[in-house]
Chains A and B, each alone.
Chain A
Amino acid sequence: MRAERTTTRMTGGILSALWRLVWPSRPDPDKSRRRARARLLISGMIASSCFFGIGAKAVWLVTGNFDSYSHSGVAAGGAERGAIFDRRGRLLASTMPALVLHADPKMILDPQEVARKLAPLIAGRTPADILKALSRKSRYIELDRKITPRRHAAILKLGLPGIYLTPTSLRTYPHTNEAAHLVGQVDIDGTGIAGIEKSMNAQLASGRDVHLSVDLGIQAIVRNALAAQIKKFEALGGAGLVMDMRSGELISLVSLPDYDPNRFSLSDDEARFNRATKGVFEMGSIFKVLNTAIALETGTASLASAYDVSKPLRVAGYSIRDYHPYNRALNLSEVLVFSSNIGSARIAEAIGPEIQKSYMEKLGLLRRPQLQLPETATPLYPRNWGRISAITIAYGHGLSVSPVHAAGAIAAAAGNGFYVEPTLIKRQEGELFEKTRIFSGDTTRKVRSMMRLVVAHKEGTANFAEVPGYRVGAKTGTAEKTRIGAAGYNRKANLTSVIAAFPIHDPRYLIFVMVDEPKPQKHSYGYATAGWVAAPVIAEIVKQAAPVLGVLPVDINAPEIGQNLETDLTIGGKGALLASF
């Protein structure tokens, strides 16, 4: 009762106080002024706070960073991997948008149904494979990385829960096998693991394109001609290249067998192996070109020098013989044109091992080439380079090099005397590059003339490399391969190769062709030598590639042919006629 009375009294007091504040019972001017001032102050403060708040918010909105809703699309992402082009701008490798198909097993209601429905849409996967993949304890199971737009639509149409498609990028090689060993490969993260993709990874990864020196048209010509001959002679494989001798640019570089870089995982080691740059071989008689050039350059031989080849040469218990024995002395030109091992050995004896080794070193034959490919090889050469080594190296045994090594070195002897490091990157107009003079113009003129006679003379070993209208010079090499897991050579397993230069009176292009273990055939009368196997490939390449390379057929009577070749050569006791050139 008492508490009730107290509450009623308090409520009445508050109400009367409020009433007096709103409607003062006794107007007092001073008091009223004070109250008005207080009201004004409070209202002003509230208004100021509102304005301040609005202003502060406006400033915050202006200066704040709101990527999430305003301009997220403008933010620059990581650079797309650069493309690889050939020297004429044809696309060899590019990165395309693609979709990854993946699954989250926890979200899948019926794995069997999913496996059954997806199997026809994933290349090379059975329902059992998919079911097995879905049983893994992971929330991200990748099912396919190459989803085409058509399959994309079909998968979406299935409407399977737990199956997702995420945008990604895919490295594609539209020319498939054509330049497989050159372009190489990237791994699942897009990092180069082979070929140019690996060696130029930094440049490609930063989004910059790479322009190769290779011409895809010439590449196709070399590849087709070589593949046809490998098939014809049931060979294991082969390698071929075309090089611009003036700039060192490789216009073509082929290794067979090859593979489709779009299906890299399906290829075997044999196909992935780059014979043109990674394989080292004893090249055989094509080294006689270098032997002759060194002899002429050092003055240890002249065109008039004669060498007795009538009997086999006995060296350290071994007998050096000729494939076609001659029962007389041969001059320097004949030693090369008839490919005499005995004659070459005698020339090398006169040169001496030290000088021979120093030339091999200058010609880049004792080190790994500076080619823009990770798949290069270090040559194999004797630790003790003595008389016996010098003799065998003279005709291409005892020193194992890759086709790229051989091309770089022989280009100096069969070209204009300069050694230029072979390159796979297109040279820019007016680009300066290193070239070292190894042989004089006089030496190379004589060597080229002899190489021309190897093709043009009836007793030369590369008659099948002749192409009417084009002056081709060449040297063949048929080397027995070393036995695998045993000492000595396998007489039935040959490595046949031909190195050629054209046009020989104005050397521009060098062609190298190698066929590994060709088998004797009926159509070759049981022969499987370089002259039968590799020389026709040279002719085919010249015939098809010369017009593409802008090399025009020449008139035999054109004065530059006589001027640029040595006409004072004697073969078989007779002077070589200008017509032979």
Chain B
Amino acid sequence: MFRVVLILCFVVAVSGSALYMTKLSVDGRYDELARLKDEIDAAEERAIILSAEWAYLSRPDRMLNLSANLLSMQPITQDRVLPLDAIPMRRQSAPRQGEGNAR
């Protein structure tokens, strides 16, 4: 009886320790996950700031001023807008000498 109790206690202790070790390794994984999550959050934060900055810098008004001052571009006039199929296709070039087969 006493031996059985001793063995049971030993088994409980060993399995408890094994579980504890598993738990420690899971905690390690959690720490790794938390670190990765923090990195993702920081990257997302940077992306949010950058996209807001991009939106601010690409304001239509600002672009208009920049293009007017730096590119000397003009609004498109109606005669410059055409549907794609209105542009004539490039003519098929004539076969080069020596390519044709005389019969």
Number of interface residues of B (CB under 8 A): 43
Instruction: Determine if A74 and B33 form an interchain contact, defined as CB atoms under 8 angstroms apart.
Output: yes
Q: List 26 A-B contacts (CB under 8 A).
A: A44-B5, A47-B9, A48-B6, A51-B13, A57-B16, A58-B13, A58-B17, A61-B19, A62-B23, A71-B27, A71-B33, A71-B34, A73-B33, A73-B37, A74-B30, A74-B34, A74-B37, A91-B52, A97-B49, A174-B53, A220-B59, A220-B64, A469-B79, A543-B78, A547-B76, A553-B78
Residues from chain A with a CB closer than 8 A to the CB of B17 are 54, 58
Q: Point out which of B22, B75, B78 has the most chain A C-beta atoms below 10 A from its C-beta.
A: B78
Residues of A within 8 A of B (CB): 41, 44, 47-48, 51-52, 54-59, 61-62, 66, 70-74, 90-92, 94-97, 172, 174-176, 178, 216-217, 219-221, 224, 467-470, 543-544, 546-547, 552-553
Instruction: Report B26-40 CB contacts with A as 1/0, cut-off 8 Å.
Output: 010011011101100
Residues of B within 8 A of A (CB): 2, 5-6, 9-10, 12-13, 15-17, 19-20, 22-23, 27, 30-31, 33-35, 37-38, 45, 48-49, 51-56, 58-61, 64, 75-76, 78-79, 81-83
Residues from chain A with a CB closer than 8 A to the CB of B23 are 61-62
Instruction: Determine if A95 and B30 form an interchain contact, defined as CB atoms under 8 angstroms apart.
Output: no
Residues from chain A with a CB closer than 8 A to the CB of B38 are 73
Bound form: Cα–Cα A62–B23 in Å: 6
Instruction: Determine if B55 and A91 form an interchain contact, defined as CB atoms under 8 angstroms apart.
Output: yes
B55 contacts which of A54, A70, A73, A174 (Cβ < 8 Å)? A174
Which 9 pairs, one residue from A and one from B, show the smallest C-beta to C-beta distance?
A58-B16, A73-B34, A220-B60, A469-B78, A71-B30, A174-B55, A55-B12, A51-B9, A174-B56
Residues from chain A with a CB closer than 8 A to the CB of B56 are 174-176
Residues from chain B with a CB closer than 8 A to the CB of A544 are 75
Bound form: Cα–Cα A44–B4 in Å: 12
Instruction: Determine if B2 and A90 form an interchain contact, defined as CB atoms under 8 angstroms apart.
Output: no
Instruction: Determine if A52 and B12 form an interchain contact, defined as CB atoms under 8 angstroms apart.
Output: yes
Residues from chain A with a CB closer than 8 A to the CB of B54 are 91
Residues from chain B with a CB closer than 8 A to the CB of A73 are 33-35, 37-38
Residues from chain B with a CB closer than 8 A to the CB of A48 are 5-6, 9
Bound form: Cα–Cα A72–B31 in Å: 9
Extra 10 A-B pairs, beta carbons < 8 Å, given A52-B9, A54-B17, A547-B81? A55-B15, A61-B20, A72-B34, A94-B48, A97-B49, A174-B52, A174-B56, A178-B60, A221-B60, A544-B75
Question: Which residue from chain B places its CB closest to the CB of A553 in the assembled complex?
Answer: B78
Bound form: Cα–Cα A473–B81 in Å: 21
Instruction: Determine if A62 and B55 form an interchain contact, defined as CB atoms under 8 angstroms apart.
Output: no
Bound form: Cα–Cα A178–B55 in Å: 12
Bound form: Cα–Cα A217–B9 in Å: 76
Residues from chain A with a CB closer than 8 A to the CB of B12 are 51-52, 55
Residues from chain A with a CB closer than 8 A to the CB of B58 are 90
Bound form: Cα–Cα A467–B79 in Å: 12
Instruction: Determine if B61 and A220 form an interchain contact, defined as CB atoms under 8 angstroms apart.
Output: yes
Instruction: Determine if B30 and A70 form an interchain contact, defined as CB atoms under 8 angstroms apart.
Output: yes
Residues from chain A with a CB closer than 8 A to the CB of B78 are 467-470, 543, 553
Bound form: Cα–Cα A97–B75 in Å: 39
Instruction: Determine if B31 and A70 form an interchain contact, defined as CB atoms under 8 angstroms apart.
Output: yes
Bound form: Cα–Cα A470–B81 in Å: 11
Question: Which residue from chain A places its CB closest to the CB of B28 in the assembled complex?
Answer: A70
Question: Which residue from chain A places its CB closest to the CB of B45 in the assembled complex?
Answer: A97
Instruction: Determine if B16 and A553 form an interchain contact, defined as CB atoms under 8 angstroms apart.
Output: no
Residues from chain B with a CB closer than 8 A to the CB of A553 are 78-79, 81
Bound form: Cα–Cα A469–B81 in Å: 10
Give the shortest distance, in Å, between B78 (CB) and chain A (any CB): 3
Residues from chain B with a CB closer than 8 A to the CB of A217 are 60
Give the shortest distance, in Å, between A231 (CB) and chain B (any CB): 15
Bound form: Cα–Cα A71–B22 in Å: 15
Give the shortest distance, in Å, between A97 (CB) and chain B (any CB): 5
Residues from chain B with a CB closer than 8 A to the CB of A66 are 27
Instruction: Determine if A51 and B55 form an interchain contact, defined as CB atoms under 8 angstroms apart.
Output: no
Residues from chain A with a CB closer than 8 A to the CB of B15 are 55, 58
Give the shortest distance, in Å, between A68 (CB) and chain B (any CB): 12
Residues from chain A with a CB closer than 8 A to the CB of B34 are 71-74
Question: Which residue from chain A places its CB closest to the CB of B52 in the assembled complex?
Answer: A174
Bound form: Cα–Cα A176–B57 in Å: 11
Whether A71 contacts B31 in the complex (CB less than 8 A), given A44-B2, A54-B16, A217-B60, comes out as yes
Question: Which residue from chain B places its CB closest to the CB of A66 in the assembled complex?
Answer: B27
Give the shortest distance, in Å, between B79 (CB) and chain A (any CB): 7
Give the shortest distance, in Å, between A319 (CB) and chain B (any CB): 45
A543 contacts which of B31, B33, B59, B75 (Cβ < 8 Å)? B75
Give the shortest distance, in Å, between A465 (CB) and chain B (any CB): 15
Bound form: Cα–Cα A96–B54 in Å: 14
Instruction: Determine if A96 and B52 form an interchain contact, defined as CB atoms under 8 angstroms apart.
Output: yes
Residues from chain A with a CB closer than 8 A to the CB of B33 are 71, 73-74
B13 contacts which of A54, A74, A94, A219 (Cβ < 8 Å)? A54
Bound form: Cα–Cα A370–B58 in Å: 32
Give the shortest distance, in Å, between B84 (CB) and chain A (any CB): 10
Residues from chain B with a CB closer than 8 A to the CB of A72 are 34
Question: Which residue from chain A places its CB closest to the CB of B51 in the assembled complex?
Answer: A91
Instruction: Determine if B52 and A55 form an interchain contact, defined as CB atoms under 8 angstroms apart.
Output: no
Question: Which residue from chain B places its CB closest to the CB of A175 in the assembled complex?
Answer: B59
